[in-house]
């Protein structure tokens, strides 16, 4: 039997004394794509942030095992080196830092961590240009400062592009679809589908079902008030579309 | 002496400097130097009177409220006149930036011209680059229309002091229609052994109409004494001239550095002046930009990096005297330890200077809880069809940016450095001359690394 990429067990977390996650259980195996859906305030982005290592959260219970390691004990950069990737809901603009330089630094940190020789500027440029082509992105993206002056859609595409370059084992996409028009949504979905492989896994966090018209998850989980209240196959997303969160949560709450 | 009058500056008069310290005979009215033209003596005397009248600025003065120059008042002030057996070698100079540029350089040691260390590349026809003392003797007709006419002595005691006592400096003259491709480097190095030794370098840069030139002024040290540099540069860009000027200050951590750059732009000229302040215990750079012609563009661009107990002060007045002028000021400061950054930017739009487009930005990055930044923008607008904006920020590195980089496998410390470097890069990127920009970029990067280590940041 395959080893899971990540196992989240009874994870609870609070921010400034307020309990946000109230016991999350989730196991993801290689080759799988999971979607977490939920209304605003359900804890979706908190889960993503905690997995990527953002500071400011108190882990009040549970654990996260990533490829056999205690994920929560690692610094964000160590997690990234181990293959965890967070596509940000709000990618940060960094004026003055050239995109190619930024990506080369990130890429080489990961290579260094794996004991591989670093790529020089020329080698990296060749490598990165292939990725640009693969995702049908404009090449001038590489010459601009990181996300600086990018439109909302460009920023999200840039996140997917970084994901393509860094080739994570476990990618978390935090509301990558929010604020995108249909064309941008298709480009992002195309990127995610292209990057799906039997040896990696993806966790797609979304508020809306529409992204799931273009990327097909193997599992869908509904998060509500810090707990996963329902899990199922891709048909769960469609069911949600019809009943809405309220209907589903009400139904789920009855047996309890 | 009695027949010379100086205009009284506004406000209560400070005690005359000569009254304050009668035994300081070196601060006597300048006397006629046989090699100098008579008009210059008048200018020197007027400068001396202004200085005597103004006295040293105090913290009560609105323009100096963050910068205490009291330690300077105790210094010698008059230049050391004995010829220097300075012992400076070309090799010793090669450690300084911009010394390997193709355009060549004039070197001044303790304010005195050092011809044996200076070398100039082949200059285009008619271009003159020499020390000012020589120019006063051989090119008076080129010097007289400009020298002491752009840097005002009646509001700035240090400019007045320089005017009274300057011995030498650089003279650069580019005739109409001529372009100098390679940057010209003016290198001022101090080897002062005595505490309080003073130099008053005086530079005149004239770019006649339709000409083009890049000039770098560097102030550096080969000593660690507390000496005083008080420089004044007058920069004239005639109609359609394109001038890039970079002042680089990296004096030792005990030194005092006061400088004035008075730039005068003619119609449709394009002047960019950069000020890079890395060194000195206390530095103050005054930039007076007069947009005297229509449709000109002027950029004032600056970067200051301080650590320890350094203070770096930039004071500027951009004077829009004619319509359709554009001026942009961009100053970024990176302040570590207990150091201090001061920015004072005044934009003056005179009546009739319609369609003025003036923009001012000052950003300060504080790397420690003890560092401070004082920033004071000032707009004075007397025309109604203008666009003027200003903005100032003081802050620390953005945690969200650091997390973003860390989430991309970049370690915290490297992420911090990338962001700090980027902050400096915004300013360095505006240097147009590629060779200068690259050298400056490397240098600032190294300095930021050093400052980090010295500051012992996590």
Neighbours of B90 (CB within 10 A): 12
Please enumerate in sequence order all residues whose Cβ is within 8 A of that of A246, keeping only pairs 6 or more positions apart, or say none.
none
User: Touching check for A83 and chain B: CB below 8 Å?
Assistant: no
Contact A80 B408 (CB under 8 A): yes
pLDDT digits (tens, 9 = 90+) for A117-150: 999 999 999 999 999 887 777 888 888 889 998 9
Closest residue on chain A to B425 (Cα): A96
Res A171 pLDDT > 90: yes
Q: What's residue B232's pLDDT?
A: 98
Interchain CB distance below 8 Å, B409 and A81 = yes
Chain B interface includes A92 (CB < 8 A): yes
Contact A91 B404 (CB under 8 A): yes
Could you give the CA distance from residue B57 to residue B395 in angstroms, rounded to a whole number?
30
3-state secondary structure B309-348: CCEEEEEEEEEECCCCCEEEEEEEEEECCCCEEEEEEEEE
Tokens 């650091």 belong to residue: B402
| CB spacing of A96 vs B422 below 8 angstroms | yes
How confident is the model at residue B4, as a pLDDT?
Answer: 35
* Residue in chain A lying closest to B406 (CA): A77
Q: Cα–Cα distance between B300 and B214 in angstroms, integer?
A: 15
* Cβ contacts of A53 on chain B, cutoff 8 Å: 406-407
Residues of B in contact with A94 (CB under 8 A): 401, 404-405, 419, 422
CB contact under 8 A, B406 and A102: no
CB-CB under 8 Å, A109 with B411: yes
Give per-residue burial for B258-293: e unless 16+ CB within 10 Å, then b.
bbbbbbbbbbbbbbbbbbbbbbbbbbbbbbbbbbbb
| Residue of chain A whose alpha carbon sits nearest to that of B423 | A96
Q: Do B422 and A95 touch (CB under 8 A)?
A: yes
Mention every residue, 6+ apart, whose C-beta is less than 8 A from residue A147.
A91, A92, A93, A94, A154, A155, A158
Q: Do B404 and A52 touch (CB under 8 A)?
A: no
- Taking the CA of residue A201 and the nearest CA in chain B, the distance in Å comes to 17
**Which is nearest to A197 in space by CA: A68, A30, A26?**
A30
CA nearest B414 in A: which residue?
A: A105
* Number of A–B residue contacts, CB under 8 Å: 71
| Alpha helices (H) along B221-281 | none
ipTM of the complex: 0.95
Mean pLDDT of the region B187-213: 94
In CATH, the architecture of A6-253 is: 3-Layer(aba) Sandwich (3.40)
A255 and chain B: CB distance < 8 Å anywhere? Answer: no
CB contact under 8 A, A96 and B409: no
Nearest-Å Rg of the Cα atoms of chain B is 21
- Which residue in A has a C-alpha nearest to residue B417's C-alpha? A97
What is the CB neighbour count within 10 angstroms for residue B372? 17
| B residues 409..448 contacting A (CB < 8 A) | 409-412, 414, 418-419, 421-426, 429
B39 in reach of chain A (CB within 8 A): no
A97 contacts B418? CB cut-off 8 A: yes
Q: Chain A residue closest to B424 (CA)?
A: A96
Give the mutation candidate from B363, B402, B404, B409 for the A interface (greatest A CB count, under 10 A).
B409
> What pLDDT digit, counting tens, does each position of B425-453 carry?
999 999 999 999 999 999 998 888 877 66
pLDDT of residue A141: 83
What rounded mean pLDDT belongs to chain A? 91
Does A92 contact B404 at a Cβ distance shorter than 8 Å?
yes
B419–A97 CB contact, under 8 Å: yes
Provide the mean pLDDT of chain B: 90
The nearest CA of chain A is from the CA of B329 a distance in Å of: 18
Please give the pLDDT value at position A251: 73
Mean pLDDT along residues B15-24: 53
Residue A187, pLDDT above cutoff 90? no
Confidence of residue A222 (pLDDT cuts 50, 70, 90): very high
Confidence (pLDDT) at B26: 56
Rounded to a whole number, what is the distance in Å from the CA of B339 to chain A's nearest CA?
24
- Selected residues 137-176 of chain A with any CB under 8 Å from a CB in chain B: 145, 162, 166
Give A105's contacts in chain B (Cβ within 8 Å): 410, 414, 418
- pLDDT tens by residue, A11-21: 999 999 999 99
Distances (CA, A) of B263 to B85, B260, B319: 34, 10, 10
Task: Identify the burial level of A66 via C-beta atoms within 10 angstroms of its C-beta, where 0-12 means exposed, 13-18 middle and 19 or more buried.
Answer: buried
CA dist B174 and B432 (Å) reads 19
Q: Which residues of A touch B418 (CB under 8 A)?
A: 97, 102, 105
Nearest chain A CA: its distance from B184 CA (Å): 28
Q: Is A96 on the interface with B (CB under 8 A)?
A: yes
A103 contacts on B by Cβ (under 8 Å): 408
For B90-183, strand residue ranges (E) read: 104-109, 112-113, 119-120, 128-131, 170-174
d(CA B213, CA B181): 7
Fill in the DSSP letter of residue A240: H
**pTM exceeds 0.90:** no
Query: CB under 8 Å to A191, separation ≥6 — which residues?
Result: A135, A157, A160, A161, A163, A164
State the pLDDT at residue B19: 57
Interchain proximity B405–A94, CB inside 8 Å: yes
Contact yes or no for B408/A80 (Cβ under 8 A): yes
**Residue B43 CB neighbours (<10 A):** 19
User: Residues B112-136: what's their mean pLDDT?
Assistant: 93
pLDDT at position B314:
98
A94: closest CA of chain B, how far (Å): 7
- Say if the Cβ atoms of B425 and A96 lie within 8 Å: yes
Question: For residue B8, what pLDDT is reported?
Answer: 40
Beta pairing, strands B104-109 & B112-113: antiparallel
DSSP 8-state code for residue A151: -
**pLDDT at residue B266 tops 60:** yes
Asked whether the predicted pLDDT for residue B12 surpasses 50, the reply is no
pLDDT at residue B21 greater than cutoff 70: no
Among A24, A2, A27, CA closest to A11? A24
CB-nearest partner of B406 from A76, A113, A166: A76
Which pLDDT score is estimated for B328?
Answer: 97
Per-residue CA distances from A203 to A6, A28, A212, B405, B436 (Å)? 10, 9, 12, 21, 48
Q: How far apart are CA A240 and CA A237, in angstroms?
A: 5
Q: Do B409 and A109 touch (CB under 8 A)?
A: yes
What are B89-109's pLDDT values in tens digits? 999 999 999 999 988 899 999
Q: What is the C-alpha end-to-end distance of chain B, expressed in Å? A: 61
Question: Are residues B406 and A75, on separate chains, in Cβ contact within 8 Å?
Answer: yes
Percent of chain A with pLDDT strictly greater than 90: 66
* Per-residue pLDDT reduced to its tens digit, A66-80: 999 999 999 999 999
CA dihedral B417, B422, B427, B433 (to 10 degrees): 100
Task: Please give the Cα distance from B220 to B251 (Å, whole number).
Answer: 4
Collect all residues of chain A within an 8 Å Cβ-Cβ radius of residue B437. none
Q: Where are the domains of chain A?
A: 6-253
Mean pLDDT of A155-161: 92
**Residue pair A192/A173 in contact by the 8 Å Cβ criterion:** yes
Residues of chain B in contact with residue A162, where contact means CB-CB under 8 angstroms, are: 408
């Amino acid at each position: 039997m395959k080893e899971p990429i990540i196992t989240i067990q009874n994870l609870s977390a609070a921010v400034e004394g307020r309990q946000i996650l109230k016991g999350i259980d989730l196991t993801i195996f290689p080759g799988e794509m999971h979607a977490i859906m939920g209304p605003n305030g359900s804890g979706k982005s908190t889960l993503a942030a905690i997995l990527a290592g953002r500071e400011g959260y108190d882990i009040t219970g549970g654990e996260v095992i990533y490829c056999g390691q205690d994920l929560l004990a690692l610094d964000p950069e160590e997690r990234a080196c181990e293959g965890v990737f967070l596509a940000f809901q709000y990618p940060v603009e960094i004026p003055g830092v050239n995109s190619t330089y930024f990506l080369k630094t990130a890429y080489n940190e990961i290579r260094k961590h794996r004991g591989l020789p670093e790529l020089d500027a020329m080698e990296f440029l060749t490598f990165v240009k292939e990725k640009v082509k693969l995702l049908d992105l404009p090449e001038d993206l590489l010459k601009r400062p990181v996300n600086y002056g990018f439109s909302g859609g460009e920023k999200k595409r840039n996140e997917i592009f970084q994901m393509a370059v860094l080739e994570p084992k476990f990618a978390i996409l935090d509301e990558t679809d929010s604020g995108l028009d249909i064309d941008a949504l298709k480009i992002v979905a195309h990127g995610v589908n292209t990057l799906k492989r039997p040896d990696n896994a993806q966790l797609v966090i979304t508020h809306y079902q529409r992204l799931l018209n273009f990327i097909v998850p193997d599992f869908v989980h509904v998060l509500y008030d810090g707990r996963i209240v329902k899990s199922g196959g891709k048909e769960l997303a469609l069911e949600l579309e019809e009943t809405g969160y309220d209907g589903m949560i009400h139904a789920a709450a009855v047996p309890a | 002496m009695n027949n010379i009058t100086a205009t009284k500056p506004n406000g209560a008069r400070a005690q005359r400097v000569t009254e304050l310290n009668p035994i300081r005979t070196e601060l006597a009215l300048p006397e006629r130097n046989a090699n100098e033209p008579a008009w210059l003596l008048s200018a020197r005397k007027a400068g001396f009177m202004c200085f005597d009248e103004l006295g040293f600025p105090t913290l009560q003065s609105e323009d100096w409220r963050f910068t205490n120059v009291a330690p300077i008042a105790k210094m010698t002030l008059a230049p050391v006149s004995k010829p220097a057996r300075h012992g400076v070698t070309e090799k010793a100079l090669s450690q300084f930036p911009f010394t390997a540029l193709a355009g060549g350089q004039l070197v001044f040691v303790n304010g005195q011209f050092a011809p044996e260390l200076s070398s100039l590349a082949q200059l285009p026809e008619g271009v003159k680059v020499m020390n000012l003392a020589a120019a006063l003797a051989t090119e008076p007709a080129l010097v007289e229309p400009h020298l002491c006419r752009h840097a005002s002595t009646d509001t700035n005691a240090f400019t007045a002091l320089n005017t009274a006592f300057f011995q030498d400096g650089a003279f650069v003259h580019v005739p109409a229609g001529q372009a100098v491709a390679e940057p010209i480097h003016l290198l001022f190095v101090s080897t002062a052994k005595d505490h309080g030794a003073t130099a008053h370098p005086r530079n005149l840069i004239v770019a006649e109409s339709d000409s083009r030139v890049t000039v770098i002024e560097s102030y550096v040290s080969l000593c660690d004494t507390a000496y005083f540099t008080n420089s004044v540069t007058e920069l004239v860009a005639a109609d359609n001239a394109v001038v890039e000027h970079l002042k680089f200050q990296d004096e030792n951590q005990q030194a005092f550095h006061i400088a004035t750059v008075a730039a005068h732009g003619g119609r449709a000229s394009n002047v960019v002046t950069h000020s890079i302040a890395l060194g000195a215990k206390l530095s103050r750079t005054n930039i007076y930009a007069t947009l005297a012609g229509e449709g000109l563009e002027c950029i004032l661009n600056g970067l200051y990096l301080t650590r320890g107990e350094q203070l770096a002060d930039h004071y500027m007045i951009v004077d829009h005297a004619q319509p359709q002028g554009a001026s942009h000021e961009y100053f970024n400061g990176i302040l570590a330890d207990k150091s201090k950054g001061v920015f004072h930017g005044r934009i003056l739009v005179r009546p009739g200077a319609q369609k003025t487009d003036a923009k001012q930005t000052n950003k300060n990055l504080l790397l420690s809880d003890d560092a401070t930044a004082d920033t004071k923008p000032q707009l004075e607008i007397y025309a109604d069809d203008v666009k003027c904006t200003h903005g100032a920020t003081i802050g620390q590195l953005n945690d969200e940016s650091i997390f973003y980089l860390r989430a991309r496998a970049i370690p915290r410390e490297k992420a911090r450095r990338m962001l700090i470097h980027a902050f400096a890069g915004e300013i360095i990127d505006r240097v147009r001359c590629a060779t200068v920009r690259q050298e400056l970029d490397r240098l600032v990067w190294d300095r930021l690394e050093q400052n980090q280590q010295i500051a012992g940041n996590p």
